[in-house]
């Protein structure tokens, strides 16, 4: 291994994404990822618990961010408006990364049932955290769960549209449009 170089996490992530694309998630090993990044396996495990976490490592921070935005929404905000603010904020954060990364990540997850399951679990956990936060704001059931689940549905649909090969929109714009569509569907306007 060469002398220390900065951005170990980024190098590991780029190496993993390249190998997942080239060989498939199942065939890529931690040893190969570390070697391609010019690092050791030990260094890999300082940043990631396993090779799946390369694709999911920011989920906890994103959830904390969204819960914080939701918790600080004005008291006058309806449950869905508060959830929309949290989802909108998350979209702005996610869109700071290159769209090509999001497209590659989506493609890799779509090609692997285990990763699809992990993604669904992460989204369910996020919906539960949003619903818990709404309940802390005094929103009763089933409104808290309905607003949280609707928000996650908007997030998923807008993310898929944003990461499509033909998308010309930015992610926050697609989130706004999707919430507008949800309002139209539920109000009949």
> 63-99 pLDDT, tens per residue?
999 999 999 999 999 999 999 999 999 999 999 988 9
pLDDT tops 90 at residue 108: yes
H or E, element range at 15: helix 8-23
**Environment class of residue 155 by beta-carbon count within 10 Å: exposed (0-12), middle (13-18) or buried (19+)?**
buried
> 50-70 pLDDT, tens per residue?
999 999 998 999 999 999 999
Contact partners, residue 53, CB within 8 Å, separation at least 6: none
Cα-trace Rg, the chain: 19
> 16-35 pLDDT, tens per residue?
999 999 999 999 999 999 99
What pLDDT sits at residue 4?
A: 52
pLDDT over 70, % of the chain: 97
pLDDT band, residue 169 (cuts 50/70/90): confident
> 134-162 pLDDT, tens per residue?
999 999 999 999 999 999 999 999 999 99
The C-alpha angle with vertex 68 and arms to 184 and 177, in degrees rounded to 5, equals: 20
Domain spanning 8-54, CATH architecture: Orthogonal Bundle (1.10)
Which tops the pLDDT comparison, 132 or 169? 132
What pLDDT sits at residue 98?
A: 87
What pLDDT sits at residue 187?
A: 87
Please state which CATH number belongs to domain 58-187. Answer: 1.10.357.10
* Residue 144 contacts residue 134 (beta carbons within 8 Å): yes
Q: Given CA atoms 79, 82, 84, 86 in this order, what sign does their dihedral have?
A: negative
What pLDDT sits at residue 2?
A: 47
* Cis amide leading into 142 (omega within 30): yes
Structure tokens that stand for 162 in this block: 């944003």
Residue 136 CA to residue 73 CA, distance in Å, equals 12
Domain ranges of the chain: 8-54, 58-187
pLDDT band, residue 11 (cuts 50/70/90): very high
- Compute the average pLDDT of residues 112-133: 96
pLDDT tops 70 at residue 1: no
pLDDT tops 70 at residue 182: yes
């Amino acid at each position: 291994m060469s002398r220390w170089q900065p951005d170990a996490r980024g190098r590991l992530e780029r190496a993993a994404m390249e190998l997942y694309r080239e060989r498939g998630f199942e065939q890529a090993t931690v040893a190969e990822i570390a070697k391609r990044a010019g690092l050791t396996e030990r260094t890999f495990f300082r940043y990631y618990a396993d090779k799946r976490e390369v694709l999911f490592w920011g989920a906890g921070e994103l959830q904390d961010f969204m819960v914080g935005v939701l918790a600080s929404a004005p008291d006058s905000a309806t449950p869905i408006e508060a959830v929309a603010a949290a989802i909108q904020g998350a979209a702005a954060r996610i869109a700071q990364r290159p769209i090509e990364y999001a497209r590659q990540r989506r493609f890799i997850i779509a090609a692997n049932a285990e990763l699809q399951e992990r993604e669904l679990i992460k989204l369910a956990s996020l919906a539960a955290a949003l619903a818990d936060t709404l309940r802390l704001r005094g929103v009763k059931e089933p409104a808290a769960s309905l607003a949280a689940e609707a928000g996650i549905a908007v997030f998923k649909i807008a993310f898929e549209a944003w990461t499509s090969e033909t998308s010309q929109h930015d992610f926050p714009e697609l989130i706004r449009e999707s919430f507008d569509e949800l309002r139209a569907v539920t109000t009949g306007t």
